[in-house]
Amino acid sequence: MVGVARRMNKLKALLNIRHGPGAALLPSEVSRIHLEFAQRWNDGQYGPRKFWQTCLPRLKYWNPAVPMIVNRTSEATGPATLTIYFRQKQEGVIAAAEATEAEPQPSSSFVGESKAPQPTPTERTVQIDMKGLRSDAILQDFLSKSGAIPVSPSSQEQADMREVEERAERASVDREVMLKYLTARRREAALLAQAKSEVDSLKQSV
Protein backbone atom coordinates (compact mmCIF):
# COMPACT_ATOMS: atom_id res chain seq x y z
CA MET A 1 0.00 0.00 0.00
CA VAL A 2 2.86 2.36 0.81
CA GLY A 3 4.46 1.51 -2.54
CA VAL A 4 1.24 2.37 -4.38
CA ALA A 5 1.00 5.70 -2.55
CA ARG A 6 4.58 6.57 -3.45
CA ARG A 7 3.98 5.67 -7.08
CA MET A 8 0.88 7.83 -7.16
CA ASN A 9 2.76 10.76 -5.61
CA LYS A 10 5.52 10.47 -8.22
CA LEU A 11 2.97 10.14 -11.02
CA LYS A 12 1.07 13.17 -9.74
CA ALA A 13 4.26 15.26 -9.64
CA LEU A 14 5.21 14.18 -13.18
CA LEU A 15 1.77 14.90 -14.60
CA ASN A 16 1.70 18.26 -12.82
CA ILE A 17 4.93 19.43 -14.48
CA ARG A 18 4.09 17.93 -17.89
CA HIS A 19 0.59 19.33 -18.22
CA GLY A 20 -1.27 22.44 -17.19
CA PRO A 21 -0.85 26.17 -17.85
CA GLY A 22 2.49 26.78 -19.57
CA ALA A 23 2.91 23.31 -21.08
CA ALA A 24 3.79 24.32 -24.63
CA LEU A 25 6.43 23.79 -27.31
CA LEU A 26 8.23 26.91 -28.48
CA PRO A 27 9.08 27.34 -32.16
CA SER A 28 12.75 26.98 -33.08
CA GLU A 29 12.93 30.72 -33.79
CA VAL A 30 12.62 31.55 -30.07
CA SER A 31 16.18 31.87 -28.78
CA ARG A 32 15.58 32.93 -25.16
CA ILE A 33 13.06 34.46 -22.75
CA HIS A 34 13.49 37.12 -20.08
CA LEU A 35 11.10 37.98 -17.23
CA GLU A 36 11.32 40.94 -14.90
CA PHE A 37 8.96 41.63 -12.01
CA ALA A 38 9.01 42.66 -8.36
CA GLN A 39 9.29 40.29 -5.43
CA ARG A 40 6.20 41.75 -3.76
CA TRP A 41 2.67 40.96 -4.93
CA ASN A 42 1.15 44.43 -4.83
CA ASP A 43 1.02 47.16 -7.51
CA GLY A 44 0.09 44.78 -10.32
CA GLN A 45 2.88 42.27 -9.65
CA TYR A 46 0.73 39.31 -8.54
CA GLY A 47 -0.07 38.04 -12.04
CA PRO A 48 3.57 38.10 -13.22
CA ARG A 49 4.66 36.33 -10.04
CA LYS A 50 2.03 33.61 -10.49
CA PHE A 51 3.01 33.17 -14.15
CA TRP A 52 6.60 32.62 -13.01
CA GLN A 53 5.53 30.11 -10.34
CA THR A 54 2.99 28.08 -12.32
CA CYS A 55 3.65 28.50 -16.04
CA LEU A 56 7.40 28.94 -16.39
CA PRO A 57 8.38 25.55 -14.85
CA ARG A 58 6.22 23.72 -17.41
CA LEU A 59 7.50 25.90 -20.23
CA LYS A 60 11.07 25.07 -19.20
CA TYR A 61 10.25 21.37 -18.92
CA TRP A 62 9.12 21.24 -22.54
CA ASN A 63 11.86 23.59 -23.80
CA PRO A 64 14.98 22.74 -21.75
CA ALA A 65 17.39 24.18 -24.33
CA VAL A 66 15.81 27.65 -24.31
CA PRO A 67 17.41 29.99 -21.73
CA MET A 68 14.78 31.53 -19.44
CA ILE A 69 16.19 34.38 -17.37
CA VAL A 70 14.27 35.77 -14.40
CA ASN A 71 15.09 39.15 -12.87
CA ARG A 72 13.23 39.94 -9.64
CA THR A 73 13.53 43.42 -8.21
CA SER A 74 12.67 45.07 -4.90
CA GLU A 75 10.66 47.87 -6.57
CA ALA A 76 6.97 46.99 -6.47
CA THR A 77 6.17 50.07 -8.54
CA GLY A 78 8.71 49.05 -11.18
CA PRO A 79 8.01 47.33 -14.51
CA ALA A 80 6.84 43.77 -15.04
CA THR A 81 7.89 42.66 -18.50
CA LEU A 82 8.27 39.46 -20.48
CA THR A 83 10.70 39.70 -23.39
CA ILE A 84 10.75 37.07 -26.14
CA TYR A 85 13.88 36.87 -28.29
CA PHE A 86 13.58 35.52 -31.84
CA ARG A 87 16.35 34.36 -34.15
CA GLN A 88 16.53 36.07 -37.51
CA LYS A 89 18.34 33.54 -39.67
CA GLN A 90 18.60 35.58 -42.80
CA GLU A 91 20.95 34.66 -45.60
CA GLY A 92 24.54 35.51 -44.74
CA VAL A 93 24.02 35.73 -40.97
CA ILE A 94 23.22 32.11 -40.10
CA ALA A 95 26.74 31.43 -38.87
CA ALA A 96 26.68 34.56 -36.73
CA ALA A 97 23.34 33.52 -35.23
CA GLU A 98 24.67 30.08 -34.36
CA ALA A 99 27.74 31.67 -32.78
CA THR A 100 25.61 33.84 -30.48
CA GLU A 101 23.69 30.75 -29.33
CA ALA A 102 26.89 29.39 -27.82
CA GLU A 103 27.51 32.54 -25.79
CA PRO A 104 26.87 32.19 -22.03
CA GLN A 105 23.54 33.60 -20.88
CA PRO A 106 23.19 35.83 -17.79
CA SER A 107 22.00 34.08 -14.64
CA SER A 108 18.65 34.79 -13.03
CA SER A 109 18.73 37.29 -10.18
CA PHE A 110 16.62 37.91 -7.09
CA VAL A 111 18.18 41.33 -6.51
CA GLY A 112 17.54 43.02 -9.85
CA GLU A 113 20.94 42.35 -11.40
CA SER A 114 19.82 40.52 -14.57
CA LYS A 115 18.22 43.14 -16.76
CA ALA A 116 16.98 42.10 -20.19
CA PRO A 117 20.04 41.90 -22.47
CA GLN A 118 20.10 43.79 -25.73
CA PRO A 119 19.23 41.60 -28.72
CA THR A 120 22.13 40.52 -30.88
CA PRO A 121 22.31 41.63 -34.54
CA THR A 122 20.62 38.35 -35.45
CA GLU A 123 17.76 38.68 -32.97
CA ARG A 124 14.54 40.62 -32.68
CA THR A 125 12.43 41.00 -29.55
CA VAL A 126 8.77 41.18 -28.64
CA GLN A 127 7.88 42.51 -25.20
CA ILE A 128 4.77 41.90 -23.12
CA ASP A 129 3.79 44.33 -20.37
CA MET A 130 2.65 41.94 -17.63
CA LYS A 131 1.87 44.53 -14.98
CA GLY A 132 -1.69 44.34 -13.72
CA LEU A 133 -2.51 41.25 -15.81
CA ARG A 134 -3.70 37.90 -14.53
CA SER A 135 -1.38 34.96 -15.12
CA ASP A 136 -3.79 33.33 -17.59
CA ALA A 137 -3.96 36.56 -19.62
CA ILE A 138 -0.16 36.74 -19.64
CA LEU A 139 0.01 33.14 -20.83
CA GLN A 140 -2.46 33.69 -23.66
CA ASP A 141 -0.57 36.77 -24.83
CA PHE A 142 2.70 34.84 -24.64
CA LEU A 143 1.34 31.90 -26.64
CA SER A 144 -0.01 34.24 -29.29
CA LYS A 145 3.16 36.32 -29.67
CA SER A 146 5.68 33.49 -29.37
CA GLY A 147 3.86 31.01 -31.57
CA ALA A 148 4.14 28.32 -28.90
CA ILE A 149 1.92 25.25 -29.32
CA PRO A 150 0.18 23.95 -26.16
CA VAL A 151 0.88 20.31 -25.32
CA SER A 152 -2.12 18.04 -24.80
CA PRO A 153 -1.94 14.93 -22.60
CA SER A 154 -2.01 11.55 -24.32
CA SER A 155 -4.89 9.12 -23.77
CA GLN A 156 -2.73 7.20 -21.27
CA GLU A 157 -1.87 10.40 -19.41
CA GLN A 158 -5.53 11.37 -19.32
CA ALA A 159 -6.30 7.99 -17.77
CA ASP A 160 -3.48 8.49 -15.26
CA MET A 161 -4.80 11.95 -14.40
CA ARG A 162 -8.28 10.54 -13.77
CA GLU A 163 -6.80 7.82 -11.56
CA VAL A 164 -4.81 10.37 -9.56
CA GLU A 165 -7.91 12.55 -9.17
CA GLU A 166 -10.07 9.61 -8.10
CA ARG A 167 -7.49 8.49 -5.55
CA ALA A 168 -7.27 12.05 -4.22
CA GLU A 169 -11.06 12.15 -3.81
CA ARG A 170 -11.06 8.79 -2.02
CA ALA A 171 -8.23 9.94 0.22
CA SER A 172 -10.25 13.05 1.10
CA VAL A 173 -13.26 10.91 2.04
CA ASP A 174 -11.02 8.60 4.08
CA ARG A 175 -9.58 11.58 5.95
CA GLU A 176 -13.08 12.82 6.80
CA VAL A 177 -14.10 9.37 8.06
CA MET A 178 -10.93 9.10 10.14
CA LEU A 179 -11.43 12.60 11.53
CA LYS A 180 -14.98 11.73 12.61
CA TYR A 181 -13.73 8.50 14.19
CA LEU A 182 -10.95 10.26 16.10
CA THR A 183 -13.33 13.02 17.20
CA ALA A 184 -15.78 10.42 18.54
CA ARG A 185 -12.97 8.58 20.34
CA ARG A 186 -11.74 11.81 21.96
CA ARG A 187 -15.28 12.70 23.01
CA GLU A 188 -15.75 9.22 24.47
CA ALA A 189 -12.44 9.45 26.32
CA ALA A 190 -13.39 12.87 27.67
CA LEU A 191 -16.76 11.56 28.91
CA LEU A 192 -15.10 8.58 30.58
CA ALA A 193 -12.55 10.85 32.24
CA GLN A 194 -15.32 13.13 33.45
CA ALA A 195 -17.34 10.19 34.80
CA LYS A 196 -14.28 8.80 36.58
CA SER A 197 -13.58 12.20 38.09
CA GLU A 198 -17.16 12.45 39.35
CA VAL A 199 -16.99 8.94 40.87
CA ASP A 200 -13.71 9.78 42.61
CA SER A 201 -15.27 12.96 43.99
CA LEU A 202 -18.25 11.01 45.34
CA LYS A 203 -15.95 8.48 47.02
CA GLN A 204 -14.00 11.25 48.71
CA SER A 205 -17.16 12.91 49.97
CA VAL A 206 -18.48 9.73 51.61
What pLDDT shows up at residue 8?
57
Cα 180-186-191 angle, rounded to 5 deg: 125
Q: Looking at residue 187, what is its pLDDT?
A: 76
Q: Sorting pLDDT into bands at 50, 70 and 90, what band is 154? A: confident
Per-residue pLDDT at 22: 94
Q: What is the pLDDT of residues 124-143, one digit of tens each?
A: 999 999 999 999 999 999 99
71 burial type by CB count under 10 A (0-12 exposed, 13-18 middle, 19+ buried): buried
Helix ranges, 63-154 (H): 94-101, 135-146
Residues linked to residue 128 through DSSP beta bridges, in sequence order: 82
The rounded mean pLDDT for the chain is 81
What's the average model confidence in pLDDT over 17-37? 93
* 178 vs 123, more confident: 123
**Phi–psi pair at 17, nearest 5 degrees:** -85, -25
34: Cβ contacts below 8 Å, ≥ 6 apart: 68, 69, 70, 71, 81, 82, 83, 85, 114, 116, 117
Q: Half-sphere exposure of 30 toward its Cβ, with a 13 Å CA cutoff? A: 27
In this prediction the pTM is 0.70
Tens of pLDDT, residues 91-129: 544 444 454 455 677 788 877 778 889 999 999 999 999
Percent of the chain, pLDDT > 70?
70
Of the listed ranges 42-46, 51-55, 58-62, 160-164, the one predicted with least confidence: 160-164
3-class DSSP assignment, residue 36:
strand
